[in-house]
Amino acid sequence: MERKYMDRLVGKYCKIVMKEPGEDRASVVSGILEDIDYDAGFVIIDSSQGLGCLNIKSIVAIKPGKRRKEREIKEDNRAFVGIGTLIVFIAMILVAAVAASVLIKTGETLQQRANKVGLQTTREVSSGLVITDVTGYTNSEKTYITHLALTVRPRAGSQDVDLRNTVLYIQYQRLTVLSFSNQTGYVAGSVSSSGVFHTLNVTLNATTYGVIAVHDADGSIARNYGMNEGDTAIVLVNLSAAFGTSGLPPRESVSGSFLPETGAAGTFDASAPAVFTNRIVEMA
């Protein structure tokens, strides 16, 4: 082999054909030609079996070659890495889609709850009752106030009020609770000619109150026991029966609240005058 030719192959992948003296068959060694030691008479080659030395005298031919097998392996590795990256990318997209779906669903649920809470809050704030006037009615001797008449109307912008679900709290020396009764005689569609305190056809007891419609354009108070915007009613209470006494004496105070099912309660705090000159008494 020419020396110049072999020197050009140093560092390259080569196929070396070798034939030992006395052997009939030649062998082929493939690898990178690392170095040539002409003085020692051998070449150093880096093959797939590792680093080794070959006798120059045994070399029949050297031919540059290509590492096809290694290249195919590298290409396969690249393909494997590419598929793995694609799988990871698809997994990330799926995770992001699931997370987005959860967020959207959670957002819709929170929005529905917020709307519901907002509506309930609006009803609580805007709905309710207002007590605009408190009038008393004394016994024949004008010594005690035996009955109260509370003028009631819904608040501005209030939802409809169901009188069947309202409760009246009254406090004088002790607290008592009265409820609505839909029995015959406890509700009147208008004030009779005999006056407010003689309109109802029943005697009020210690646990119920009566209702008289004063302004009820659609007749909802007497028909359905409901108050809506623009309605006005009078709530009658038998103080003597409610507290088990003769009634409210002069200079004493009575307070209470008329609580609807939804919204703010109408409250009052009224004091009796020092002297009852008439049976109809305006409470301050």
pTM: 0.59
Domain topology for 3-68:
SH3 type barrels. (2.30.30)
Same topology between domain 3-68 and domain 126-282 = no
* Under 8 Å between Cβ of 211 and 166: no
Query: Highest mean pLDDT: which of 10-19, 47-56, 95-104, 245-254?
Result: 245-254
CATH number of the structural domain 126-282: 2.60.40
Q: Where are the domains of the chain?
A: 3-68, 126-282
* Under 8 Å between Cβ of 174 and 204: no
Q: How far apart are CA 142 and CA 272, in angstroms?
A: 12
pLDDT in tens, 70-111: 555 555 555 566 777 888 889 999 999 999 988 888 888 888
Please give the pLDDT value at position 257: 97
Q: How far apart are CA 110 and CA 46, in angstroms?
A: 70
**Range list of H helices, the chain:** 3-8, 68-126, 220-224, 239-243
Q: How far apart are CA 108 and CA 216, in angstroms?
A: 42
Report in angstroms the alpha-carbon separations of 79 from 66, 69, 73, 82.
21, 15, 10, 5
Q: How far apart are CA 274 and CA 127, in angstroms?
A: 36
pLDDT in tens, 140-179: 999 999 999 999 999 988 889 999 999 999 999 999 999 9
